Structure 1
Amino acid sequence: MAPPRIARTALAAALLAAAAGGAAQAATPTQDKLFAELRRLAERVDKLEKRNSELEARLAAPAPAPALAQRVAALEQASKEVAAGLESDRISAREPELVTRLKAVEAKTQAIGAPTRLAEALDGIAVEASVAAVAQRIDGDANADGNDVSLLSWRGDLGITLPAGDIGAGTGEFFAQLRVGQEGEGLPEANPAFTGAYNSLAFQGGAGSQDSYAIVAQAWYQLTTPLGTDPSTPHSLQLTVGKMDPFVFFDQNAIADNEAEKFLNNVFVHNPLLDSGGAVGADDYGFSPGLRLAYRNERSAPDWWQASVAAFGAGEGAKFGRSFTKPFVIGQLEYGRKNQGFDGNYRLYAWRNGQYEGFDGSVDATTGWGLSIDQRVHEDLALFARYGRASSGKAAFDRALTVGGELTGNAWGRGADGVGLAWAWLRASDEFRAEAPLSPDFGYDARGAEQVAELYYRWQVNPQLSLTPDLQYIRRAAADPEAESVTVFGLRGLYAF
């Protein structure tokens, strides 16, 4: 049998011969065209056979062994250099370009991943810190010797919130606050006044005015547990235990509860009966160990309401002496709502302190109730009011009313600035009026009420720094109709982040 190439050639020749034989018998124009196509086809077949022969010859020929060996050796050497370069983390100019590029990409990847890992490690941790200083000039009418007094103090606060894990469906967090500060000796012989402090920022420890002093102000754990199986339930229960500032959880007020930014006089920072009047029963720095339970309902969000109750150590218990022996107990109902887009908070609370120290030094129980309201009425204006009334106990004043507000500086192109104005009325109790004339601490016929006014302008220098000139005016201090009015000038500086 002939090879395929020879068979294809024989077939083309036979076709041409047959065509020629037929043409001798009768040639027509159509046959001429057919013969021509057959010839071209035979020529193409012959060319293809020659090309195939050449390709088969090339494929059968062996590759030059020396060139292939050199290429294989070069690849093996390059592989060894890459492997050696990748064993070290250092980048060298002598390494192959591929190794240098791989190490550069790896270094960039690690640089990008480091902040991500740090962010994951710090997730849930919040830190806030501030340092404030206050200089005040108190006129001589506040002092028994009649001399003006200049006072200077500073205070620093550091608060840290840490995630504390989950218990069932509840989420825990831990909060700690460190406080450090220093204050002058204060008024040497202060005249009687219902006002607890002209400077609520003042902080001085047992070391005296010459040394700074630091304490662990707060350290408490809080567990917030949603009620129900729905993850988005509007109902939650909150449990807080540890050393706390009771005013963080009760008698709050958005306009008047931050002495570092707003009003300095103590009667405006908290309800006067609780703080200046001493019914809260906390330690010398305003803190106490306690236990708090709260229920929160946000079903009508953005409106919400909350009910809470707590027991705090009072007297020696506030200093961890006899904790929860006749504690300070307080309950509060609060409601938050938006009025035409403006936030408002309304709080009603009642308390009982089993170790209350009266104005005559006696220790007995006291009870009372109060209101705290703050409402923004305009994008530039927010108002507040507080009222307190003592129902029992030997309080020097048994009724207190404070009102005021803050106006932002948008009207004069200083939106971060604020102007605050407040007024207080502290009514002398019947017991105090009866006993003051015969008391060696007072010795006058008490009538009416002490009145306090405060005005400040907060100048926000930058997002962290503010300066606040402050003016206070106290009339009829401790309900003494013969007392001269007292004026207090001050300047506060605050750095916070």
Structure 2
Amino acid sequence: MRISFALKPLAAAALLCAASGAGAASHGARELQQLVAKLGERMERLEQRNAELERELRASRAAAPAAPAPAAIEQRVTALESQQARTAAGLDSDRLSENEPELTSRLKAVEMQAEGARGAARKIEALEGLSAGFSLTTMAQKPFGAAAANSQLNYRGDAFITMPLGKLGAIEQRVFAQFRVGQGAGLNDMASFAKPNASAFRVLGGLRPDDSVAVLAQAWYQASIPLPLGGHAPRSKETLELGFGKMDPFAFFDQNAAAGDETRQFTNTVFVHNPLLDAGGDIGVDANGFAPGFRLSYQNASAKPESWRVSLGVFGAGATGSNYQRSLSSPLMLLQAETQRRLFGGLPGNYRVYAWRNSQASHFDESVTEPERHVGWGASLDQRVGDGVTLFGRYGRQLRGHVRFDQALTLGAEFGGSYWGRAGDSVGMAAGWLNTSRDYRGASAAAGAERVAELYYRYRINKQFELSPNLQYIGRPAGDNSVGAMKILGLRAQLSY
């Protein structure tokens, strides 16, 4: 729109007339004339600016694009619908194609990555609670005072895995498997009741000494049932355990916190387990040290941290029972009662009493091949008496059977290295007494008891590597007073993960 300034001359004339009527000679009239002139100049510039704006408006209207025709709009909509259909078809197919729209390829790539992440998460969830480990034990021993005995070197490797199974209600389930490999018999063929190298392992059965064969040592299932049935499991103070499979009976019976691991503690068999069961042979396991069997255990922890447990084990025994031929015919039976006590200012201790019956045991005279029944009982205890001191003891008594020794007593202690600034180190010392039986004394030159002692120092290099020099003493080997004492110096290296 154009704004007109046609009245501008008239307004100026009126102002001049009014000014002249008031007196031309007046000084105020001249100032008024100057003001009118300035006002006229400003109005002229406004008129010019208005004309410029009108020209710009007409130019912008002329440059605006014309509205698209209806046909062009329809074409664009059709193209968009076609692209959407291709995208939907591509997403419905699991196959990737270079002809697919880029958006489809990217969506499929993201979906595949998400599925991979979900798969990994499911695997981690399935493996939750799984534990595995490996240990390698190497030992060198040199005897002194033993006729026809040479230095020996042996190794043993153990790999194990514990895998939890899905819960059955409130019942927890797990499976345990262990593989063992090794070479070297150590010095265990010496003429003594005690065997100086419990870590020695070699698969027998016609294999050459340079054959290294791994065996499935253990494979068993265990269910832990909280009691009472139907109660609130987290508050349960009673547990019933049921297990079956191929086992090491010593993993569940005759345990000892200070003398039960030949790879880290004492090496002589009389200090690792009850001498009547292990060195005496009444445990009845196969040539590799394992047997098929069943185990039932009841634990009561209502007075926690003190508790008590009763366990029953039934294992295949003897030449045929331990190797799955006649495992249920006259098996080895073990019954154990144990309790954990807090003594000496609250320090833990374990006290176990057990009895066994082996109907597939062997007579000490190898010429008697018919199996016979052996019956005995024993006790195992370990008690901490200080922050780094643990005392232990075992006793065994044979009640029935022709055995080489019918009583055994072992005592010892383990001292933690915190007392001399080496918290990871330990010193162990033990002494044993194996009394020959009357039948054996009557059939051999034995006249007394075999005496055994062992001293070791476990030096920790790091968490996975330990070195343990040890010294053993065997006096009156096999109870024969005419044979001199034997001394054995050894060095054990233990790697574990």
TM-score by length of 1: 0.75
Separation (CA, whole Å) in 1 of partners of 2:446 and 2:181: 41
Q: Aligned-pair distance for 1:269?
A: 0.5
Matched with 1:218 is 218
RMSD: 3.4
Report % sequence identity: 44
SS at 1:120 equivalent: helix
CA contact (8 A) 2:440 2:446 kept: no
1:187 to 1:306, Cα distance in 2 relative to 1, 3 A? closer
Aligned counterpart in structure 1 of residue 337 of structure 2, from 329, 333, 338: 333
Give the aligned residue type for 1:155: R
Give the letter for the 2:237 counterpart.
P
- What letter corresponds to residue 247 of structure 1 in structure 2? F
SS in 2 for 1:267: helix
Matches of 2:332 and 2:117, distance apart in 1:
53
Change over 3 Å in CA distance of 1:184–1:238 after alignment to 2: closer
Residue 299 of structure 1 corresponds to which residue in structure 2? 302
Q: For the residues of structure 2 that align with 1:214 and 1:159, how far apart are their CA atoms?
A: 13
- Structure 1 residues 163 and 133, CA gap change in structure 2 (3 angstroms): same
The count of residues paired between Structure 1 and Structure 2 equals 419
Deviation readout 1:394-440 (Å, 9 max, x if unpaired): 1111111111121111122221111111111111112222221xxxx
Is the CA contact 1:185–1:209 (under 8 Å) kept in the aligned structure 2? no
SS at match of 1:421: strand
Separation in 2, partners of 1:185, 1:408: 28
Deviations 1:23-82 (A, max 9, x none): xxxxxxxxxxxxxxxxxxxxxxxxxxxxxxxxxxxxxxx99968xx99xx9xx99xx89x
Match of 2:60 in 1: none
Deviation, 1:169, is 4.0
The aligned counterpart of 1:323 is: 327
Distance verdict in 2 for CA 1:326–1:88, change over 3 Å? closer
Deviations 1:316-338 (A, max 9, x none): 20122211222111100010133
Match of 1:278 in 2: 281
- CA distance in structure 2 between the partners assigned to 1:290 and 1:369 by the alignment: 20
Aligned residue number for residue 44 of structure 1 = none
Q: Distance in 2 between matches of 1:283 and 1:160?
A: 22
Give the counterpart of 2:240 among 237, 242, 258: 237
The residue number in structure 2 matching 1:493 is 493
Say whether the 8 Å CA contact 1:371–1:386 is kept in structure 2: yes
Query: Which structure 2 residues correspond to residues 10-409 of structure 1 after superposition, within 5 A?
Result: 116-139=121-144, 141-143=145-147, 145=148, 148-167=149-168, 169-183=170-184, 190-191=190-191, 193-195=192-194, 197-205=195-203, 206=205, 207-228=207-228, 229-232=230-233, 233-316=236-319, 317-339=321-343, 340-361=345-366, 362=368, 363-409=371-417
Any conservation in 1 of the 2:452–2:472 contact (CA below 8 Å)?
A: yes
Bigger Cα displacement from structure 2, 165-174 vs 152-161: 165-174
Following TM superposition, by how much is the alpha carbon of 1:235 offset from its aligned partner in structure 2, in angstroms?
1.4
Q: 1:463 to 1:64 in 2, by over 3 A?
A: farther
* 1:459 partnered with 2:459: yes
Aligned partners of 1:381 and 1:407 also within 8 Å: yes
Partner amino acid, structure 2, of 1:287 = F
CA distance, structure 1, for counterparts of residue 256 and residue 294 of structure 2: 21
Distance 1:272 1:476 in 2: 16
Secondary structure at the counterpart of residue 360 of structure 1: coil
2 CA distance for matches of 1:236 and 1:184? 41
Alpha-carbon distance change, 169 to 113 in structure 1, aligned in 2, over 3 angstroms: closer
* CA distance in structure 1 between the partners assigned to 2:276 and 2:268 by the alignment: 14
Whichever residue aligns with residue 164 of structure 1, its letter is L
Partner residue in 2 for 1:47? none
The Cα of 1:358 is off from its aligned counterpart by 2.3
Distance in 1 of aligned mates of 2:420 and 2:313? 44
**Residues 288 and 106 from structure 1, CA distance in 2 versus in 1: closer, same or farther, beyond 3 angstroms?**
same
Q: Which whole-Å CA distance do the structure 1 matches of 2:455 and 2:304 have between them? A: 35
- Contact 1:149–1:187 (CA<8 Å) still a contact in 2? no
Give CA-to-partner distance per residue, 1:284-335, whole Å, 9 cap, x none: 1211111111111111111111111111111120122211222111100010
By how many angstroms is 1:487 displaced?
0.8
Greater gyration radius: 2
Counterpart of 1:412, as a letter, is: W
Query: Contact 2:135/2:159 (CA < 8 Å) preserved in 1?
Result: yes
